[in-house]
Structure 1
Amino acid sequence: MPKTRVLQAALALAVVLPLVTAPAAWAEVRITELPGLPDHPTHRTVGVNDLGQVIGAAYGNGPVRGVHWTPGGAAVDLGAGNPRAINQRGQVLVVEAKSSVGPYVNRPRIWRAGEVVDITPPGSGWVGAEVINDSGQVPMTYSTSSSGYHQERAAVWRGDEHEALPLSEPHLFIDAINDAGVVVGSKLPMFAGDRYAFRCEGVTCTRLATTPGTGPYELSAINEAGVVVGNKDGLALRWEGDSVTVLSPDGRVARGPQAINERGDVVGVTTDASGVRRATLWPGGGKPVVLGVPGPAEAVAVNDRGDVLGWSSADDPDAARAFLWRDGKHVWLGSLGGAHSLPVALNNRGAAVGESTTADGTIKAVKWTVVDERPLR
């Protein structure tokens, strides 16, 4: 059974009141240790959907195994492989490395309620797949030979077949897809040549606006309005339509689909004049707002109500400490008794997931539930 603890989070109000002896509390945090698989002492989470389903991986004896936790906290073994993403229908994308020495074979599959569908492109070797949208569509890049690992072709699994994208030659990366099926990624030539980011709508692929610099583009996410965010050469970037905006000349957008929400809020990190990393929010893609959490700190995810999830290592450079920020205030999410608590993702219902160490240093998968007196928007 999951083990749940309750923490009372007390935060100072911005308004100064006379004779206030204790700060007011705006939220209650419940931390739940998610049960693990036998003979696998270490567990890490990857994502959570609005149904409360959580996915992650178990490490220990034998190969890495995927885990699906039900809303009630029961653990389901997904078999060998690393879960990459879960959608709102409960479909889980799992990628299994059949061999990492050669021949290079990596296989993606979709799991849902015990049913498994192999979505490996015919004739492929190493397949890269990171995201799945709510229609079950999965973009992927792959090598055309099992003797190589260069990602030289791209396709999208559209639910019953692969649709090839007009992209070729290494190295191709596809990082995000929205529910309309719009795909974004980047190309990095093997030796020399043009480095660029791209957007594909159906089988039509176009280049995104460029920025100065020689480094590769690293895209993070796309929302339903088609706004894309990512990074290049220390620049945090936002693409909308045919233009690109530099959000920060010295920062980074968070990795993963929750780097941007449907309101256009973007999260990540900026570096202040003292060289300290600061957890940062760009509301609607506008001017950066430093969240006020002690640095070094980073924001890793934002949900559609504007809650920001992140971590700080100000107390211990070797141990992250998870926080949730809402409407100008933050709450520490707590741990299972150890110094380390690293958040990964959150949903729109007040649940966040990540990992925490116990008092003996073991890493466990956890879910934090933040209970607020304010209703969901």
Structure 2
Amino acid sequence: MKVITTGLLLPLFAGIHAAAPNPAQAQGPLASKASAQRYSIADIGSLSPDPSHGVRAIEINNRGHVHGENDLPAPTGQGKINAYWWNGHTQEKIYPLAPALSFGGSMNDAGQCVGYSTTALGDLHACFWESGTTQDVHVGPLTFSKATDINVDALLCGTNSAFIPGYTISQFRPYVSDTQGNWLDIGTFGGGGGFAYGLNDRMHVIGIAKDANESMRPFLWSSSTGMQDLGGLGGFTTPRDLDNFDRVVGVSANPAGDYRAFIWQAGVLTELPTLGGSAGDAKAINDHGVVVGKSTDSGEVQYATLWPGGTAGPVKLQDAIRPTTSWVLTGASGINELGEICGTGKLNGVQRAYRLTPLVRGSRLSGAQPGISGQLNTLYGLGFEPGASISVAYGFAPGRTAATGCPGQFYSIQNAQVLLNAVADVDGRLAVTFNLPSSFAGTQIRVQALDMGRCTMGEVRLQLLQ
């Protein structure tokens, strides 16, 4: 492995994007609709022949794929854990580098997954999985590394172990890396160790790191600003996720010792309300500013929770699915730009992973992803007629423009121009890659899709581009 010492940046890390636009402008119609949204639910299934073995969801991407962990039987009878990738229909096992364990971490829109795994020597190494192959992406001089997140450019963040001057035992250290083993120790607040938990598509990293008093502090790191202390509600604070506008969500203990969900943006950390109980934990946020996680109700029963942003209160996701279901949704762990959610709950009393898909009229678009101008972006969508021709138009102001090919249909966009034409897949989904010009940076655009098979218009997607 080629080691990059602290403070030395390869060209790989040099293309860091400028500060994000005001995230308050990034909240489009999806955020306002989230509080009233209804969902269908899909069971992720299980790889185990034992129906009592648990399945957990960790991450969902914009294709609707889910990454997580599955409990499996072991020859010793003790059981083991294997990460999985779910393509919307079936699970695929992510095999460890060597028997017997592979642990989930995260996944990007390409379906590339990261985590960590046992090796033939019994060590734990960061691993990278794609299309059925698990690769050792261990970084650092010692025997432990763990990858916790992967972004659109297949850059990783995680934690490894290393000896640090002034310490007699090895320390855990936060890092960013590529899949070839080039890595950067991003440092601490002056203490010995730290952990990296997530990164966005601008290569900004969140985690916790020790200060000079060896106390753990939550951080947001970038190559231009270094470590920024996120603060907290008075007690131990853990950031869980961040979006491309550097909004950070997580969990923090308040002065009473209760753990509460929070959102941090532009230097201000705000507690998110619970469903009426004493505990909350925010697990994920999308670029619309919609947050998911878990919290307790007035009876201290835990449920999957959605915070739609703005002044709207928390949503109990259990109430947003069909009431006759056998599911109990105890937590949500991921949300994509289409508003799909993954999480873990109980199905007939057994731990299972789920995907919630919004019930929409017509279709829904993700907007350009990652929404950064001057590079390739991908537009995702759902709710189309399978195999139908799709026309996507864009503009900069609300209005009315006649659509070609479907008489009587109008884009709800002034002077709408066709951005691209594509064909929906067998699941009625869309994924089209295109170049987003640099001149679009800082602009707010509107995109809308026309389903030529049904001659129906989808929702208007409002997006602030970086």
Equivalent position amino acid for 1:183 in 2: V
In structure 1, how many angstroms separate the alpha carbons of the residues matched to 2:186 and 2:83? 29
Deviation at 1:245, TM superposition (A): 1.4
Q: List alignment gaps of at least 5 residues for structure 1.
A: 1-25, 329-346, 351-368
Q: Structure 2 matches for 1:32-111, cutoff 5 A?
A: 33=45, 36=47, 44=55, 46=57, 47-51=59-63, 53-57=65-69, 59-61=72-74, 64-68=81-85, 73=90, 75=92, 78-79=95-96, 80=98, 81-98=102-119, 105-111=123-129
Aligned-partner SS, 1:125: coil
Cα separation, partners in 2 of 1:304 and 1:296, compared to 1, 3 Å: closer
The percentage of aligned residue pairs carrying the same residue is 21
Cα separation, partners in 2 of 1:309 and 1:375, compared to 1, 3 Å: farther
Residue 413 (structure 2) aligns with: none
Residue 154 (structure 1) aligns with: 174
Deviation at 1:173, TM superposition (A): 1.8
Q: Are residues 1:206 and 2:227 paired?
A: yes
Spell out, residue by residue over 1:119-163, the C-alpha distance to the aligned partner (whole angstroms, 9 max, x if none). Answer: 222312322321111111111222216xx9964322210344112
Deviation at 1:291, TM superposition (A): 2.7
Q: Are residues 1:304 and 2:337 paired?
A: yes
Deviation at 1:39, TM superposition (A): 11
In structure 1, how many angstroms separate the alpha carbons of the residues matched to 2:69 and 2:304? 27
Is the 1:104–1:149 Cα contact (8 Å) retained in structure 2? no
Cα separation, partners in 2 of 1:104 and 1:151, compared to 1, 3 Å: farther
Cα separation, partners in 2 of 1:197 and 1:60, compared to 1, 3 Å: same
Spell out, residue by residue over 1:44-103, the C-alpha distance to the aligned partner (whole angstroms, 9 max, x if none). Answer: 35444344555455522356444445566474653342232221123221311349xxx9
Deviation at 1:171, TM superposition (A): 4.1
Q: Moved runs in structure 1, 4+ residues, more than 6 A?
A: 37-41, 315-321
Aligned-partner SS, 1:293: helix
Match of 1:284 among 298, 304, 309: 309
Residue 218 (structure 2) aligns with: 197
Cα separation, partners in 2 of 1:53 and 1:176, compared to 1, 3 Å: same
Residue 179 (structure 1) aligns with: 201
Is the 1:176–1:185 Cα contact (8 Å) retained in structure 2? yes
Residue 220 (structure 1) aligns with: 240
Is the 1:254–1:301 Cα contact (8 Å) retained in structure 2? no
Cα separation, partners in 2 of 1:149 and 1:276, compared to 1, 3 Å: farther
Deviation at 1:284, TM superposition (A): 2.3
Aligned-partner SS, 2:186: strand
In structure 1, how many angstroms separate the alpha carbons of the residues matched to 2:85 and 2:183? 26
Equivalent position amino acid for 2:282 in 1: A
Aligned-partner SS, 2:309: helix
Q: List alignment gaps of at least 5 residues for structure 2.
A: 1-37, 254-258, 320-327, 361-379, 384-426, 430-455, 462-466
Residue 148 (structure 2) aligns with: 130
Deviation at 1:188, TM superposition (A): 4.9
Is the 1:152–1:171 Cα contact (8 Å) retained in structure 2? yes
In structure 1, how many angstroms separate the alpha carbons of the residues matched to 2:177 and 2:215? 27
Residue 249 (structure 2) aligns with: 229
Aligned-partner SS, 1:284: coil
Based on CA coordinates, which of the two structures has the bigger radius of gyration?
2
Deviation at 1:238, TM superposition (A): 1.0
Deviation at 1:185, TM superposition (A): 0.7
In structure 1, how many angstroms separate the alpha carbons of the residues matched to 2:333 and 2:348? 19
Spell out, residue by residue over 1:149-192, the C-alpha distance to the aligned partner (whole angstroms, 9 max, x if none). Answer: 964322210344112213264441211100111001112579x6
Residue 253 (structure 1) aligns with: 281
Cα separation, partners in 2 of 1:290 and 1:370, compared to 1, 3 Å: farther
Is the 2:116–2:127 Cα contact (8 Å) retained in structure 1? yes
Aligned-partner SS, 1:184: strand
Match of 2:130 among 112, 115, 119: 112
Is the 2:41–2:357 Cα contact (8 Å) retained in structure 1? no
Number of residue pairs matched by the alignment: 303
Residue 300 (structure 2) aligns with: 275
In structure 1, how many angstroms separate the alpha carbons of the residues matched to 2:272 and 2:50? 45
Residue 21 (structure 2) aligns with: none
Cα separation, partners in 2 of 1:278 and 1:74, compared to 1, 3 Å: closer
Is the 1:166–1:204 Cα contact (8 Å) retained in structure 2? no
Root-mean-square deviation (Å): 4.4
TM-score (norm: length of structure 1): 0.63
Is the 2:334–2:343 Cα contact (8 Å) retained in structure 1? yes
Is the 2:220–2:230 Cα contact (8 Å) retained in structure 1? no
Spell out, residue by residue over 1:232-279, the C-alpha distance to the aligned partner (whole angstroms, 9 max, x if none). Answer: 112321111122112237442333xxx111100112334444434454
Q: Are residues 1:144 and 2:173 paired?
A: no
Equivalent position amino acid for 2:204 in 1: V
Aligned-partner SS, 2:272: strand
Aligned-partner SS, 1:198: strand
Equivalent position amino acid for 1:78 in 2: Y
Cα separation, partners in 2 of 1:275 and 1:74, compared to 1, 3 Å: closer
In structure 2, how many angstroms separate the alpha carbons of the residues matched to 1:279 and 1:84? 20
Greater Cα shift, 122-131 or 319-328: 319-328
Is the 1:164–1:203 Cα contact (8 Å) retained in structure 2? no
In structure 2, how many angstroms separate the alpha carbons of the residues matched to 1:68 and 1:107? 19
